[in-house]
């Protein structure tokens, strides 16, 4: 077992927006673990759900710092929110999204593990290109992936904010899990829908390319979402890979003529591994 070589730096910002009276989003900055949770539910429910989820995620991840451990921690968070929702009538029906990123070490290799439930998102900016890593668990996006709606139809679907998966709704939940090999210069964005419903991917990418400091980039993205309407709470976490584990020669490979194929844009590369327990 070697010493972890990959180093991260991160920045974040969150804002209630221009319309909502309270901020039901929560974020977690606990290097090497980062998360965004977007709570839903009347009264205080949404805030309680997202806070309960990030606290349970942190506690669960500490027990097993692998990709599987991270997915387990999300399932623990689901159970924590579900139990809490049944304790008090005013919390009944609350739920939350969860998108999290952790640097993990498995079999001597470091990886970025990304987990998702709901319609918050993780993006990867690599070599100037921005790609969405996660799938939204919403009614129109599920229909689009099934080939029953075009992207244009999905974009204007009346149920765009109806989730097909969230934490706290059922005693068990299916968790999407992806692994990305980290390269120096990679930038990962975690965001609640209050960002990308207001700001286009093109404009998000422009800010992420332009602003080196992750805190400044996060604040700028939140400010843009507010300028463009701020109809929802906005939460942004920006995580930079400032050094990578190049002992296997990956850094020099990345500079060679042939592009590395360990991660290329698209679903085929972010190794989709559906967490085993979530399938049952
Ligand atoms: Mn939201």
Q: CA distances (Å), 46 to each of 20, 106, 142, 144, in order? A: 12, 34, 23, 27
Dist. CA 10 → ligand 1 center (Å): 22
pTM of the model: 0.86
Give the C-alpha separation, 214 to 13, whole Å.
10
Dist. CA 163 → ligand 1 center (Å): 11
Dist. CA 184 → ligand 1 center (Å): 31
pLDDT(53) > 90: yes
Give me the residue label for tokens 């692998």: 66
Dist. CA 201 → ligand 1 center (Å): 17
Give the C-alpha separation, 141 to 193, whole Å.
13
Dist. CA 32 → ligand 1 center (Å): 24
Dist. CA 162 → ligand 1 center (Å): 11
Dist. CA 158 → ligand 1 center (Å): 16
Dist. CA 214 → ligand 1 center (Å): 22
Dist. CA 38 → ligand 1 center (Å): 5
Dist. CA 179 → ligand 1 center (Å): 25
The tokens describing 280, both together, are: 């049952």
Are 93 and 208 a contacting pair, CB within 8 Å?
no
Dist. CA 72 → ligand 1 center (Å): 24
What is the DSSP track for the chain? ------EEEEEEEEE-TTT-SS--EEEEEETTEEEEEEEE-TTTHHHHHHHHHHHHHHHHHHH--SHHHHHHHHHHHHHHHHHHHHH-GGGTT-EE-EEEEEEEEETTEEEEEEEEESS-EEEEEETTEEEE-SPP-BHHHHHHHTTSS-HHHHHT-TTTT-BS--BTSSSS---EEEEE---TT-EEEEE-HHHHTTS-HHHHHHHHHH--SHHHHHHHHHHHHHHTT--S-EEEEEEEEEE---TTSHHHHHHSSSPP-SS-SSTTTS-----HHHH-
Residues 63-112 have pLDDT tens digits of: 899 999 999 999 999 999 999 999 999 999 999 999 999 999 988 889 99
Dist. CA 225 → ligand 1 center (Å): 12
Mean pLDDT, all residues of the chain: 87
Mean pLDDT of 211-233: 98
Mean pLDDT of 197-213: 98
Dist. CA 137 → ligand 1 center (Å): 13
Dist. CA 119 → ligand 1 center (Å): 8
Residues 114-124 have pLDDT tens digits of: 999 999 999 99
Residues 149-203 have pLDDT tens digits of: 999 999 889 888 899 999 999 999 999 999 999 999 999 999 999 999 999 999 9
Dist. CA 94 → ligand 1 center (Å): 14
């Amino acid at each position: 077992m070697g010493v972890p070589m990959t180093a991260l730096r991160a920045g974040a910002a969150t804002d209630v927006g221009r319309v909502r009276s309270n901020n039901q989003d929560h974020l977690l900055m606990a290097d090497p673990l980062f998360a965004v949770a977007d709570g839903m539910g009347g009264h205080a429910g949404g805030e309680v759900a997202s806070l309960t989820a990030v606290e349970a995620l942190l506690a669960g991840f500490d027990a097993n710092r692998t990709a599987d451990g991270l997915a387990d921690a999300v399932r623990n968070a689901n159970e924590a929110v579900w139990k809490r929702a049944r304790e008090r009538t005013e919390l009944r029906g609350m739920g939350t999204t969860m998108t999290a990123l952790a640097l993990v070490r498995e079999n001597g290799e470091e990886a970025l593990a990304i987990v998702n439930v709901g319609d918050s998102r993780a993006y990867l900016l690599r070599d100037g290109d921005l790609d969405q890593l996660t799938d939204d668990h919403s009614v129109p996006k599920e229909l689009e992936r099934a080939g029953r709606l075009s992207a244009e139809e999905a974009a204007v679907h009346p149920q765009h904010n109806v989730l097909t998966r969230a934490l706290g709704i059922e005693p068990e939940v299916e968790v999407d899990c992806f692994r990305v090999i980290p390269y120096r210069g990679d930038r990962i964005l975690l965001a609640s829908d209050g960002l990308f419903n207001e700001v286009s991917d093109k404009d998000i990418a422009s800010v992420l390319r332009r602003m080196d400091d992750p805190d400044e980039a996060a604040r700028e993205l939140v400010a843009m979402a507010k300028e463009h309407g701020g109809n929802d709470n906005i939460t942004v976490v920006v995580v930079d890979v400032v050094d990578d584990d190049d002992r296997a020669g990956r850094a020099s490979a990345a500079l060679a003529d042939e592009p590395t194929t360990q991660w290329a844009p698209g679903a085929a590369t972010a190794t989709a591994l559906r967490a085993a327990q979530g399938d049952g």
